[in-house]
Structure 1
């Protein structure tokens, strides 16, 4: 059963990830008191290159996306009624665990606070998957995740093309590979309604910033880690070029 725009609006779904990077402004990060709409503004100088608001928000977004898409993948492996849906779930779990590991590693190096919970919008997606059953679950998962991954794909490319920060550039490389794989896996379910998905990506509903901003974690709270369940085979799942080790700092001139 294809998803409808009314359904999308009810759970705050619908391609709004195209504007998420503007909303993820975390004023508490890096001592910034007022969120700026200038995403190219440099907010910190680091040994890996300047860090802009867009760079910081990208790291936060990748982390936030994994916090709901990883669990969604686990639900797909448990509830999917077809082998293709269950396989898509395996790719989600493994791919986002890899991205999460990179986010958790580079965030402290760049002095970026990362969330422990997804946005209210993303939590709405996850709750819908939890309540769905049978073919409705399969259809909603394939279409909602095709919208969200398709919406962020162009943003990844923009970050990769413009960032001067080596760590953020590596994360964008990795996210590009993982997200493209996940787009393909949703399409392999043969449940994607491309007309509706394309409409939702190009005409996203307007949502309050609070719906697309993850809660700031409490000071000292342990960092939640996404992991691959023991025994789950990882063969054949692209996870992108890993960022297991920091690249050399960007050389300075002078």
Structure 2
């Protein structure tokens, strides 16, 4: 009797042990936060192009064939420079909405910031389709303009802000015209028209502030 009872106890223990082993075999440890491979929420990944689209060769020199027509170095230059414009003009316009002393400058800046946001979305989309690597920070010259504006206050802030933004918009006009007249890429041609309309509108907005004095104009070419 005792032997039979002992055998029953041993059999029960063995069954419990087998169930525990089976549960352990199916258990997957919860990964630690460091193993997830997720980007911390404070880190922003800046899109600077995409994998090459069909028919697009990833290169920054020479003319490349794309499904929308040849993409020249000048075409890529325009895409990058429009992106560069947005990298400094958009945050400065947003800053002017808060800091400008004149109501007209704040009103104009609000419109410029919104339009630059839309133009930046267009240039990102275009760069992704054509596999153009976009810059992720303003040039040294543009950072100098930003510092000059930010270091002023009151009326001096308004005048300096309008001067540098208007000068920057004027600098890109020549490139836009060149690309519009020479590009064989249908996407770039349409974008050059959109960029031209935006730049011209921003020039008019800045001039409507009444702060574009002769001193704020660049010297005419010889």
Q: 1:1-26 CA distances to partner (integer Å, 9 max, x unpaired)?
A: xxxxxxxxxxxxxxxxxxxxxxxxxx
Matches within 5 A, 1:52-131: 52-131=72-151
Deviation at 1:196, TM superposition (A): 4.5
Q: Which residue in the other structure is 2:212 paired with?
A: 192
Which structure features the higher share of helix residues?
A: 2
Q: Which runs of 4+ in 1 moved over 4 A?
A: none
Q: CA RMSD in A?
A: 1.8
Q: 1:52-105 CA distances to partner (integer Å, 9 max, x unpaired)?
A: 000001101100110000001011101111121112211221111111101111
Which residue of the other structure, out of 11, 25, 30, is the alignment partner of 2:58? 30
Quote the Cα distance in structure 2 between the aligned partners of 1:146 and 1:194: 12
The number of residues matched between the two structures is 166
Change in CA separation of 1:134 and 1:196 when aligned onto 2, cut-off 3 Å: closer
Gap regions ≥5 residues in structure 1: 1-28, 36-40, 204-254
What's the TM-score, normalizing by structure 2? 0.70
Quote the Cα distance in structure 1 between the aligned partners of 2:209 and 2:216: 16
- Structure possessing the higher radius of gyration over alpha carbons: 2
Deviation at 1:132, TM superposition (A): 1.2
Matches within 5 A, 1:171-186: 171-186=191-206
* 1:75 alignment partner, SS class: helix
Deviation at 1:31, TM superposition (A): 3.8
Gap regions ≥5 residues in structure 2: 1-56
Change in CA separation of 1:169 and 1:126 when aligned onto 2, cut-off 3 Å: same
Higher relative contact order (CA 8 A, sep 6+): 1
Quote the Cα distance in structure 1 between the aligned partners of 2:143 and 2:218: 22
